């Protein structure tokens, strides 16, 4: 921490990175967001496991008695539900740290465009959600019959960007209400529906080691990319109206 230049000497990107770094330093010292997120995700996984039939039986691996869903379809859904829950629990805290001792006022005094503040918070949230996924995906691969291929990484990256773009923006909105932790999922889940569907559809094939149809896969990737781009821009533009 010794060679940090004065904030005024930095450009937009430098200040943004510095703010993200500030949040990460707070987390490293306080550890009050990521460890609960990780344990929470494991707790959700545990509960979801009780809803599955015995996967050791060969018949159960093919078809579940819920319509036409295979175990892999359901597991992909479980995995992403867990990621969304853990993510939103964590994102809801991203503006909590600014509430103490008027930190938000100091933050707003930083000579930086509001889009930089948004990006800094989004980068911190991205770091949290990636950490959760690095923990959760192997846990799922160990506990459930799924395979993790390289293709999963591409899906995860695209999903995370859209998730964080929405999650960070709506966390700032929800922070202005009396019921912050509840309002964030209420606001974010409906908007995240397309991301969630795309994530489940793309990963359920990958988990089974089944090739995704080129057309279908391209369609879902297209939806994800468009969603990410539009909501990253919306978030960056909208942030100046949210934070005042």
Partner 1 sequence: MSTTAHPGARTTGFRALAVGAWASVAVSLYFIFFVAREADASMGGQLQRIFYLHVPSAWIAYIAFATVFIASVAYLRTGARKWDLVAHSAAELGVVFSSLVLITGPIWARPVWGTWWQWDARLTSALVMWLTYAGYLLLRGLADDGSQIARSAAIVGIAGFINVPFVHFSVQWFRTLHPSGPAVGDAAGGSTLGGTELLAFFSALIAFTLLFAWLLAVRVRLGVLADEVGRLELEGDLADGPRPARPVPATT
Contact residues for partner 1 (CB under 8 A)?
166, 169-170, 172-174, 176-179, 183, 186-187, 189-191, 193-194, 197-198, 201, 216, 219-220, 223, 226-227, 230-231, 234, 238, 241-242, 244
CB of 83 to partner 1, least distance (A): 17
CB of 198 to partner 1, least distance (A): 6
> Toward partner 1, which CB reaches closer, 54 or 244?
244
Distance CA 58, CA 90 (A): 37
Token code pair at residue 15 = 């200040």
> Toward partner 1, which CB reaches closer, 27 or 201?
201
Whether the Cβ atoms of residue 199 and residue 78 lie closer than 8 Å to each other? no
> Toward partner 1, which CB reaches closer, 30 or 222?
222
Q: Which residues of 210-223 are buried (b: 16+ CB within 10 A; e: fewer)?
A: eebeeeebeebbeb
Distance CA 86, CA 132 (A): 8
Longest dimension (CA), the chain: 64
CB of 10 to partner 1, least distance (A): 28
> Toward partner 1, which CB reaches closer, 72 or 132?
72
CB of 210 to partner 1, least distance (A): 17
CB of 189 to partner 1, least distance (A): 7
Residue 32's CB: how many other CB atoms inside 10 A?
12
Q: What is the dihedral of CA 136, 137, 142, 144, to 10 degrees?
A: 100
> Toward partner 1, which CB reaches closer, 156 or 172?
172
């Amino acid at each position: 921490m010794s060679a940090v230049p004065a904030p005024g000497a930095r450009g937009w990107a430098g200040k943004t990175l510095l703010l993200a770094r500030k949040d990460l330093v707070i987390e490293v010292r306080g550890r009050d967001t990521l460890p609960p997120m990780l344990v929470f995700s494991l707790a959700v996984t545990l509960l979801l496991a009780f809803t599955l039939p015995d996967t050791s039986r060969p018949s159960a691996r093919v078809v579940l008695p819920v319509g036409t869903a295979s175990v892999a379809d359901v597991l992909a859904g479980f995995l992403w539900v867990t990621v969304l829950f853990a993510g939103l629990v964590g994102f809801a805290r991203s503006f909590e740290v600014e509430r103490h001792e008027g930190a938000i006022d100091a933050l707003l005094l930083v000579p930086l465009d509001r889009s930089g503040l948004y990006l800094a918070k989004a980068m911190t949230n991205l770091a949290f959600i990636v950490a959760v996924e690095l923990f959760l995906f192997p846990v799922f691969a160990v506990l459930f019959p799924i395979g993790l291929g390289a293709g999963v990484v591409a899906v995860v990256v695209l999903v995370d960007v859209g998730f964080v773009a929405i999650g960070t923006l709506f966390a700032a909105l929800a922070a202005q209400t009396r019921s912050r932790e509840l309002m964030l999922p209420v606001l974010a889940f409906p908007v995240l529906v397309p991301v969630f569907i795309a994530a489940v559809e793309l990963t359920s094939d990958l988990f089974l080691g089944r090739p995704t149809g080129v057309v279908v896969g391209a369609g879902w990737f297209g939806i994800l990319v468009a969603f990410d781009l539009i909501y990253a821009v919306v978030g960056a533009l909208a942030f100046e109206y949210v934070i005042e």
